[in-house]
A and B are shown apart, each in its own frame.
Chain A
């Protein structure tokens, strides 16, 4: 459950967007869309408590965001660029569980079991022992999601998890997120550039447009005028007999 009340996003002296007033209902999958530099990552950072809103109020599960919120799992942008040659997938996931703990403490059997279980859950059970650099983009993304999930969060924030993936891998990650959403009943907020791969699972979208933030349910978001306006190129909405929606450049 995420609520914004008249929030503005400010970086340095610049207001990136303002007038953000909306509520994202619990248990939903929400896309965050907007052109480059429109403040999508900035929104995530504010939800994580790493950045204060310039004005207004954000509440996550009824509380003002603050660093170290264990109820949020986070997969940052450009995840694949981390030091992948020097770490195994399972050690990376384990850091999601123990990485904030100071002092000498052996990793418990339960913690190892949790890592195994979450790796299996995201379909990464087969390559936990490999180094991150030995994995494909889709596999790396699964490991990143496992790390975000291992602490049993109630909300998952993913910054452009579909970037740099081919269409089939995009669909597999979307299916995985949809399954996590259903099975765990957690909120998922993901930044995307293209709504197409998400349309079958999306509950709503936050769109950052002309310096303003809006939230709407999926059917309202996917209107031709809005998307065309948003991306600056003509986009067409097609409804198939199965009820699926597609957007294409006209």
Chain B
């Protein structure tokens, strides 16, 4: 075994590893997080909140490293910082075009703060690596209950606000005229997003959050624009990616993040390729250039 491949080693007992309790914990955690991400991913894309979700993960970073520094729960630190960050971003509102600049500025500062906390908590490099890149295998089994509660709350709240949230996401001006509380729903959405971001950071980390939160929904959207189906398929893609990632991780004893994100990436590539092919085959998918091609009056 050479130095380059020092960490890579095929484990012939991988089936045994897969059936171990810590793998089961990892799988259940991964499924809960993937489904939560699938539930919210469609809304993230429709609302154009990709940047906000990315920012929330970074805002959670000092929360996580700060918690590690003072010796309390990393996940609690994540939740507190992302929820507060989410409410603030929600209060700033969707209109302001300088929101991205404001968010980006806060994001940069939060990341710097996270690095400061991380270096103060010296000798804890694996914790920091896990926060940055995620590690399903590091999730303690007590965490599952919390994840399950978060998922149930998310599902119930989303079901209740589904239509008004979709309305304000797509058509805020008309929704407001119809009496829908656009700002309130925006803040509620950011809080839900903060919870999902906190969960997803434990799986893929601050830096890879996009892969779990946005990419599965983007891949699903290539095939269907029906909200329920986008949510279903993005959850399926997320769960499948977690499963594939864990199997490979068991085979070669490396943290699963890379394999999870790679699976998502491949699914997205395939979806993009298939969609293009379909568009080439079907002439109806064309974009009319000169007025309406359809006349029925």
Give the B-binding residues of A (Cβ under 8 A).
48-50, 67-70, 72, 74-76, 82-83, 85-88, 91-92, 95-96, 98-104, 123, 125-127, 131, 134-136, 138-139, 147-148, 166, 168-169, 172
Contact = CB atoms under 8 A, between A and B. Distances in A.
A124 to B, nearest CB: 8
A138 B291 contact: yes
B179 A147 contact: no
Given A74-B177, A86-B46, A125-B296, A95 B170 contact: yes
Contacts of A139: 288, 292, 294
Interface stretch (B94-102, B133-141, B158-166, B266-274): B158-166
Nearest to B287: A134
A123 B297 contact: yes
A134 B285 contact: yes
B153 to A, nearest CB: 15
Given A102-B161, A134-B287, A72 B177 contact: yes
A82 B177 contact: no
Interface stretch (B30-38, B71-79, B219-227): B219-227
A126 B225 CA distance: 17
Given A67-B177, A123-B297, A82 B171 contact: yes
A125 B180 CA distance: 28
Contact of B45 (A86, A99, A131): A86
B241 to A, nearest CB: 21
Interface residues of B, number: 41
Given A100-B178, A102-B160, A88 B225 contact: yes
A76 to B, nearest CB: 4
B292 A138 contact: yes
Contacts of A86: 42, 45-46, 170, 221, 225, 230
Contacts of B292: 136, 138-139, 169, 172
Chain B, interface SS category: helix
Contacts of B226: 88, 91
Interface in B143-176: 159-164, 166-167, 169-171, 173-176
Of the listed residues B175, B225, B226, B290, the one surrounded by the most CB atoms of chain A closer than 10 A to its CB is B225
B173 A76 contact: yes
Interface in B216-257: 221, 225-227, 230
Nearest to A103: B160
Contacts of B42: 86
A98 B163 contact: yes
B7 interface: no
Given A88-B225, A99-B167, A67 B173 contact: no
A99 B175 contact: yes
Contacts of A82: 170-171
Contacts of B21: none
A103 B157 CA distance: 9
Contacts of B288: 135-136, 139
Interface string B256-297: 000000000000000000000000000001011111111111
B179 A91 contact: no
B225 A131 contact: yes
A102 B46 contact: no
